[in-house]
Structure 1
Amino acid sequence: MTVLTFLLVVVAGFFAGLVGYVTGIASLISYPALLAAGLPPVAANVTNTVAMVAVGVGSTANSGAALAKDGRKLVLWAACSAAGGIAGAALLLLTPADAFEIAVPFLLAAASVSLLLQPKLRELAGDREFPRLYPLGMMAIAVYGGYFGAGVGVMFLALILVCTSEHIWRASILKSYLTVVANLVAAIGFALFGPVHWLAAAAMAIGAFAGGWCGPPVVKVLPPTVVRVAVAICGVGLAAYLALT
């Protein structure tokens, strides 16, 4: 990897981190950038997962105090996300990809539509929370995150906004926290058993950390409805892109 390519990957990582925090589709930028840098598809996928841990680290470092009120629940949620991430990474390394990849666009489209319908869904739910569905949903989404990852932030955000009454800003922080846990455990597995390109991962992670750091202040000043609808539209677009490629 040349110095110029390294720097371009850092820049791509920054925009992937920022856009990924706001919309949950960092991989739409980071994965093609790694392919353009010369990595083969499987190496680009696992390298991307390792590098995208930095987005959550950066955003959590800049807004971690907002998570403190959840206390012990954070431990449970982290355990669910970690278990799902491990299972997803194992599926990627040990099983054929074809069958699961067929379902990916439909899963992502469903999450995106639920985001668009979130106000109506919350109205139907009233003040109810979903203490059993919520952690199970986290684990299921984390399996997807450990396996493929593209759009996992959209899925986590949809789950949080539909199953709880959290504001979009705090939901984005929780989404980032859950994503970094799932990605981290998957990244450890990939580091031990997968074809990670470490120089490319370092370049992408440097930019992604900076982008993730800038994410919470950006979301805080944007209108909640605009963020929710924009994320949903991006999710539908990503689902369509994945279905056609």
Structure 2
Amino acid sequence: MTFNLTGMLSGWLEWTSILAAGFGAGMINVIVGSGTLISFPVLLLFGYPPVVANVSNTLGLVPGGLAGTVGYRRELRANRHLARLLLPASTAGGIAGASLLFLLPPEAFELIVPALIAAGIAMVLLGPLVQRSAARRAADRPAPTRPPLWKTIVTLAGVFLLGVYGGYFGAAQGILIVGLLSLLTVETIQSLNGVKNLLVMAVNLVAAITFLVISPASVDWIVVALIAIGSALGGLVGARVGRRLPAPVLRGAIAVIGTVAIIYLLAS
């Protein structure tokens, strides 16, 4: 009886921890990004193989992304032209990245992830300066009807590459998307957060479908269910909190959480 009770308590502790990790990941993903760095290590801590943990985590985070996208629907409606432009590039990248997970060794991205996150933080913080400089230059010329072709191409290429990264691993993908768009568009950070939530959700969704097609045996459905419930609740809370944050506070939160993510990755 003691052995069974101990096993039951251990099982409940594991399930509760995974559920809580899903909640934290869903909330952080919607507000900032990098929620994967909460849920993925928890799965590794409980002994799940890296590929199973990655695949199951990606599947479980889809409802959280959907909840965050719905929560930011007002910002998305205001920027539907940008979302429509970037969504195909992001989803194509997600499919490519998910396929690479089964072709490349798990260590393939380990060395560059901290550098990518640092670049994302820098872009987020420099975004307002770049936007103000562009606004000053544009004040002396007629307003263009559309952005320059080169900027559109760079934006699409960047979002595609971030989709590849997101489909493969995805840690702090949201930070990188907000950083890139901060430099290449004139939208506010809250508007970009809404677009980011849609793109990250789309990458997770197509990556999850790709995983199911290529390697359905890599899915642990109990883990998926727990993270899905937690991330959906976390996404709803994250949308309510994130939309109320002033732009400087949101940028500061991105910088702080991104820095913590870099320290974690370098120390692990």
Q: After TM superposition, is the score higher than 0.5?
A: yes
The question of whether the paired residues in 1 share the 8 Å contact of 2:30 and 2:197 is answered with yes
Residue 199 (structure 2) aligned to one of 178, 194, 203 = 178
Instruction: State the one-letter code of the partner of 1:244.
Output: A
How many percent of aligned residue pairs carry the same amino acid?
38
Residue 28 (structure 1) aligned with residue 51 (structure 2):
no
- Deviation, structure 1 residue 132: 2.2
Q: TM-score, normalised by structure 2?
A: 0.84
Instruction: List per-residue Cα deviations over 1:39-72 (Å, max 9, x = no partner).
Output: 1222111111111112211112233243224445
Question: Secondary structure in 1 aligned to 2:93?
Answer: helix
> Between Structure 1 and Structure 2, whose CA radius of gyration is higher?
2
Residue 74 (structure 1) aligned with residue 83 (structure 2):
yes
- Gapped regions of structure 1 (runs ≥ 5): none
- Aligned-residue CA RMSD in angstroms? 2.0
Task: Identify the residue that residue 152 of structure 1 maps to in structure 2.
Answer: 173
Question: Secondary structure in 1 aligned to 2:223?
Answer: helix
Task: Identify the residue that residue 162 of structure 1 maps to in structure 2.
Answer: 183
Task: Identify the residue that residue 134 of structure 1 maps to in structure 2.
Answer: 155
Task: Identify the residue that residue 214 of structure 2 maps to in structure 1.
Answer: 193
Task: Identify the residue that residue 45 of structure 1 maps to in structure 2.
Answer: 54
- Comparing 203-212 with 62-71, greater Cα deviation is found at 62-71
Task: Identify the residue that residue 96 of structure 1 maps to in structure 2.
Answer: 105
CA distance in 1: counterparts of 2:254 and 2:36, whole angstroms: 14
The question of whether the paired residues in 2 share the 8 Å contact of 1:9 and 1:37 is answered with no
Residue 213 (structure 1) aligned with residue 222 (structure 2):
no
Distance 1:66 1:53, change over 3 A: same
Instruction: List per-residue Cα deviations over 1:137-173 (Å, max 9, x = no partner).
Output: 1111111100111110111111222222222222111
CA distance in 2: counterparts of 1:107 and 1:28, whole angstroms: 14
Task: Identify the residue that residue 243 of structure 1 maps to in structure 2.
Answer: 266
Instruction: List per-residue Cα deviations over 1:70-126 (Å, max 9, x = no partner).
Output: 445433321111110011111111122434322221111111112122222223333
Residue 255 (structure 2) aligned to one of 228, 232, 241 = 232
Instruction: List per-residue Cα deviations over 1:22-52 (Å, max 9, x = no partner).
Output: 1211012111222233312221111111111
Distance 1:8 1:243, change over 3 A: closer
- Deviation, structure 1 residue 244: 3.3
Question: Secondary structure in 1 aligned to 2:34?
Answer: coil
Count of matched residue pairs = 245
Instruction: State the one-letter code of the partner of 1:165.
Output: V
Question: Secondary structure in 2 aligned to 1:117?
Answer: helix
- Deviation, structure 1 residue 226: 1.2
- Deviation, structure 1 residue 9: 1.7
Q: TM-score, normalised by structure 1?
A: 0.91
Instruction: State the one-letter code of the partner of 2:48.
Output: L
Question: Secondary structure in 2 aligned to 1:21?
Answer: helix
